[in-house]
Chain A
Amino acid sequence: MADSPQHGADRFGCPEFRRNLALDRRGFVKAGALGLGGLSLSSLMRMEAAAEDRAAVSNEKSVIILWKRGGASQHETWDPKPDAPSEYRGSFGAMSTKVPGTQICDLLPQCAKMSDKFAILRSLHHKNAGHSAGDQILFTGYPPGPNPNENVYPSCGSIVAKQLGHQTPELPPYVMIPRTLPGVESAYLGKKYSPFYTQADPASKATWPQNGGRFEVPNFELSNGLDFNRLDSRRGLLDGFDTIRRDIDNSGNAAAMDKFQQQALDIVISPKARDAFNLDAEPMKLRERYGFMPQYDAPTPDRCGVPSWSQRILLARRLVEAGVRLVTVDLRWWDTHVKGYETMRDGFLPRWDQAYTALLEDLEQRGLMDRVMVIAWGEFGRTPKVNKTGGRDHYPGVFSAALSGGGIQGGAVVGSSDSKGALPKERPLHPQDVLATMYRHLGVDTKVTYDDFAGRPHPVLPFGDPIEELF
């Protein structure tokens, strides 16, 4: 498909032309030299309805959540305490940054050079030190249920999908790279608002071009034994057989199915969705800027390794650029209980430093900074005091986050922690405040309520206000 005519046109035509071409499936079918098959009146009308949807494509806002799963240490990222006693300070130093007066961990030199591009929150806190419980709090704004691995409340992405729908009809509104995590599900909003999982993982070496690999999302590429002619004749048959009266159903489900069938065909046939997920289309130079650092394997089983997730971040950029509203990227596993410094130094920090700054640079160069807000955080921070095994344990009492884009003033630092990095000192912030900031950027009304399985209404957020100092 890579060199088919419409693909080329989609690349080089002016925006208006590109859109029309994408809209006009009949035009596409001709351009693709496929027969019209049994194009029935009903299918024509359904196509027109789909085209109307497409006209609404706009310059709407998106969000990337860089999920530092495991809980990154505040001391070893955005909130170093160079003056604290060594058992609190840890092994690393602090480094001055481009923003006068702001210091970050000295193993993040590229971030330091770009510290005017992102803002730092240093006074986030909540009360639950379980991984999955923290996941629930940060993704939903609500406390976890009896089983913290299961969403009792919908994730922010599901809320976005429910309230705003898709931005681009060929693309799902809410994508998770690569697979599920506690907290990201749709709970009482229904499966329809679950994230679209890429399943395929850009962190897998086998997908990298230098290894002769390709990145392929399941079901997007034609299955074995199918080609476009075949698919088109199947579609023709389906149009011919799918003639049951649509007015037997007034629940909207049959209509929705027609729409999704069309959308699924678009994904497989039209280049737009496959293009959005086609990581291989990114120039090698840019991919290298994000980095191909290999997976960091934990030297002992009591420590956590670091997958080579840098390319996942690039995929996220590609998706929001194409019109996905919310992309969550799993950047695990910052759970540094044992020999944390070693893991941070050799594993997390160099990968993070390179990939995060690559993303900021990339967004800026593409003029996407206003449209795309990037929230980098994890379920909690780490204990202020270094433990006996040279690591830090779970600690929700205070933690940091980095935010950028969507009108956020780069270089802003909001809130602070005390001298040991143990408790919020100034302007204590709740995770819900970050969610409120994100929702405002996207245009989600946080006062709207949705009913749970017992019919009880719950607002999008129980509390929380946008963090005005960021803007």
Chain B
Amino acid sequence: MKEGRGRRLSPASPANSLLLLKGAAILPHGGGARFDPNSYDYQLITRWVAMGMPRGEETDPTVVGVEVYPKSRLVSANAEQQISVTAIYSDGHTEDATHIATYEANDKEIAEVDDTGHVKFFEQPGDVSVMIRYQGQVGVYQASVPLGATVEKTPEPRNFIDELVFAKLKRVGMPPSALCDDPTFIRRVSIDIAGRLPTDAEAKAFLESTDPAKRDKLIERLLASTDYADYFANKWGALLRNKRSNASAMRGNYAFHGWIRDSLHKNVRYDEFARSVVAASGDMGQNPAATWYREVKTMQTQMEDTAQLFLGTRMQCAQCHHHPFEKWSQKDYYSFSAFFSTVGRKPGRNPGEEIIYHTRKVAQTANKKDGGNVLAAGLGDDPLALTADDDPRHALVDWLSQPSNKFFAHTLVNRYWKHFFSRGLVEPEDDMRETNPPVNPELLDGLAQHFIRNGFDMKDLIRTICQSQTYQLSSIPNEFNAKDKTYFSRYYPKRLNAEVLYDAINQMTASQANFSGLPVGTRAVQLPDNSFNSQSYFLTVFGRPDSSSSCECERSSDASLAQSLHLLNSKDIQSKLSSGNGRAAKLASTNDKREVEEKIRELFLLAFSREPSGSEVLLARQHLEREIEDDKGAKKPVPQKESFEDIIWALFNTKEFLFNH
């Protein structure tokens, strides 16, 4: 082996350059073979080495864009498609870049793409997009694999959501499921809006009502209830990182949680809500929203959280290099960070609390790439002319919430769409970018425009979603749409989240949660912060988030063995079931004079908001009436309380209970 100069790169004998020998794994290479000696890449590098490794001139043309052909297509299952990519240079000339661009499909169950831009579709119907990257430029190819069935009739559209969803279903030939029945609806919407199961009385009244507007009225009732505020404050508290890092944080945690809850209950406009947080100033004790700054400490994380939370844009990559999937450069990163460059903090009145203020200076920061200073600028926008007296964060919120902003309203409506439908129109919900297009762009835009037009009204958005026939579709598939996971042709079930499930089991067993420092009976969805996770194995094991990121993905609804073991056989659950004040004890008590069948009905109404079927009543009755043999072989009845415990246990271990469906 040659040593020293010329070893890695040998213009005299390019093929002996280590760069090529190792890259093609002719010599052992830790990173494996990166290209083949017959490949274009190998030839290109060989030519470059042979030319003496020219570094190019400042004035050489650079790639300023890529053009993808075709842009979008309707294709059939199992079809194939070659994508063609053209690179556009700064001097106007174009070159074919198909062979050298990189490709990635966003749903590998629908299609797969190879290094040459050749796409292979599978059986699965749905929408797929292929991201194309070349020299920091990105493009996208979108394809729909329709099912091609005839959509003869759809439910009568209630609002624009239905028109846009059903139009898409017709286009792709996927008939929607039927509308869901009343029990399914009351359980579904109570969980999704209020984070709780309906009581047996609520369920019974709803089922018996003949009012044609009863679903609308239920939605209104839930939105007006404090349960809505509790549930959505729980959601927002995690996203706004209301985290108890140490004991002295408690006052701030409670205040911030209370503030979020009040804002939601009063239905504060979303742009005002965002302003209160992002541009918060003052003592955390007096302005609870300033607590956000306690966990989100640095200029970078303030910017990254703002981008991810309010703009659905993940800027993290652009801190160190040009964002690989995005147009954002380091300049964009630092210009956007500059909005937080004047945030000052000093100790507040209480230990562990701080005062957040605007330091009097012009918002600017250094771009780590070249060390030059950049002024505050919205993403993709020109720098703003701010004076030292302007708190740049207000300018930031002005920029965020202007109606022409393409991300702010879109991100919120997408986040809420996902809350109700399990899947965002853009997925993940906080990763909105050109190369990750929405499954129904007209719908996303329609929702955003509706939201803006109605003054960023969050309750109105929820009302509009829940009133739609799309939301009220059954989750039971018809013969065409079992595999659907992008078109919303049926409701996609989701596991109850940790807090809702815990409360639901307490409701079923008529027991009360007892979190330390909070009144007995405080429900898990009402917990002010993450610190209670450590005292509740249940909440931890079912995936309650620790509020350590601005991503909803921190919440986990994955199943696990520890969860099943806990539901099956833990002292925690067993003591709820067998408590002397619990539901089983009450049902078995001689004070409850109702017929057995009435008691069974109560349990089914509680668990599923529906009446039990004949065979379910029979099974429960048999269980209650069965006899067991004692040690001497004599038959004796089983104590009623035990049997009711068994039935309640079985009900909350069913998928019908564990899922919102």
Give the contact stretch, choosing among B113-121, B225-233, B270-278, B562-570: B562-570
Binary interface profile of B, 539-555, with partner A (CB < 8 Å = 1, else 0)? 00101001011010110
Report B102 CB to chain A, min CB distance, Å: 13
Q: Contact: B314 with A238, CB < 8 Å?
A: no
Report A143 CB to chain B, min CB distance, Å: 14
Report B111 CB to chain A, min CB distance, Å: 18
- Docked complex: A238-268 residues within 8 A CB-CB of B: 238, 240-251, 253-254, 256-261, 263-265, 267-268
- Docked complex: B602-661 residues within 8 A CB-CB of A: 615-616, 619-620, 623, 626, 628, 642, 646-647, 649-651, 653-656, 658-659, 661
Please tell me if A219 contacts chain B, counting CB pairs below 8 Å.
yes
Please tell me if A192 contacts chain B, counting CB pairs below 8 Å.
yes
Chain B residue numbers with a CB within 8 Å of A261 are 564, 568, 653
Give the contact stretch, choosing among B14-22, B379-387, B477-485, B499-507: B477-485
7 pairs, CB–CB < 8 Å, chain A vs chain B: A223-B569, A226-B574, A241-B619, A241-B651, A242-B653, A242-B656, A251-B493
Please tell me if B250 contacts chain A, counting CB pairs below 8 Å.
no
Please tell me if B510 contacts chain A, counting CB pairs below 8 Å.
no
A264 to B570, CA, bound (A): 11
A191 to B554, CA, bound (A): 9
How many A-B residue pairs have C-beta atoms within 8 angstroms? Tell me: 170
> With A248-B475, A254-B659 in contact, do A172 and B561 touch (Cβ < 8 Å)?
yes
Please tell me if A17 contacts chain B, counting CB pairs below 8 Å.
no
Report A254 CB to chain B, min CB distance, Å: 5
Please tell me if A230 contacts chain B, counting CB pairs below 8 Å.
yes
Q: Contact: A150 with B548, CB < 8 Å?
A: yes
Q: Contact: B564 with A241, CB < 8 Å?
A: no
Chain B residue numbers with a CB within 8 Å of A267 are 561, 565
- The residues of B with any CB-CB pair to A shorter than 8 Å are 30, 32, 245, 297, 308, 314, 316-317, 422, 428, 431, 475-477, 482-483, 485, 490, 492-493, 495, 541, 543, 546, 548-549, 551, 553-554, 556-571, 573-574, 578, 615-616, 619-620, 623, 626, 628, 642, 646-647, 649-651, 653-656, 658-659, 661
Q: Contact: A229 with B628, CB < 8 Å?
A: yes
- Docked complex: A149-203 residues within 8 A CB-CB of B: 150, 172, 188, 190-192, 194, 196
Chain A residue numbers with a CB within 8 Å of B475 are 248-249
Q: Contact: B566 with A219, CB < 8 Å?
A: yes
Query: Quick one: closest A residue to B177, CB to CB?
Result: A248
Q: Contact: A244 with B559, CB < 8 Å?
A: no
Chain B residue numbers with a CB within 8 Å of A224 are 571, 574, 578
Q: Contact: A192 with B571, CB < 8 Å?
A: no
Chain A residue numbers with a CB within 8 Å of B566 are 219
Q: Which of B245, B568, B650 contacts A241 (CB 8 A)?
A: B650
Q: Which of B485, B561, B628 contacts A250 (CB 8 A)?
A: B485
A322 to B457, CA, bound (A): 57
Q: Contact: A240 with B616, CB < 8 Å?
A: yes
Q: Contact: B558 with A219, CB < 8 Å?
A: no
- Docked complex: A297-316 residues within 8 A CB-CB of B: none
Q: Contact: A246 with B655, CB < 8 Å?
A: yes
Report B247 CB to chain A, min CB distance, Å: 15
Chain B residue numbers with a CB within 8 Å of A146 are 297
> With A246-B655, A260-B561 in contact, do A454 and B551 touch (Cβ < 8 Å)?
yes
Q: Contact: A234 with B646, CB < 8 Å?
A: yes
A260 to B565, CA, bound (A): 8
In the complex, given contacts A218-B570, A233-B623, what are 6 additional A-B residue pairs having Cβ atoms less than 8 angstroms apart? A192-B560, A219-B570, A241-B654, A248-B659, A253-B495, A455-B431
A456 to B647, CA, bound (A): 46
Q: Contact: A268 with B569, CB < 8 Å?
A: yes
Please tell me if A237 contacts chain B, counting CB pairs below 8 Å.
yes
Please tell me if A465 contacts chain B, counting CB pairs below 8 Å.
yes
A200 to B20, CA, bound (A): 56
Report A217 CB to chain B, min CB distance, Å: 10
Chain B residue numbers with a CB within 8 Å of A256 are 558-559
Chain B residue numbers with a CB within 8 Å of A218 are 570-571
Q: Contact: A192 with B492, CB < 8 Å?
A: no
Chain A residue numbers with a CB within 8 Å of B642 are 225, 230
Q: Contact: A465 with B30, CB < 8 Å?
A: yes
Q: Contact: A250 with B650, CB < 8 Å?
A: no
Please tell me if A148 contacts chain B, counting CB pairs below 8 Å.
no
A116 to B642, CA, bound (A): 60
Binary interface profile of A, 331-352, with partner B (CB < 8 Å = 1, else 0)? 0000000000000000000000
Chain A residue numbers with a CB within 8 Å of B556 are 190-192
Please tell me if A36 contacts chain B, counting CB pairs below 8 Å.
no
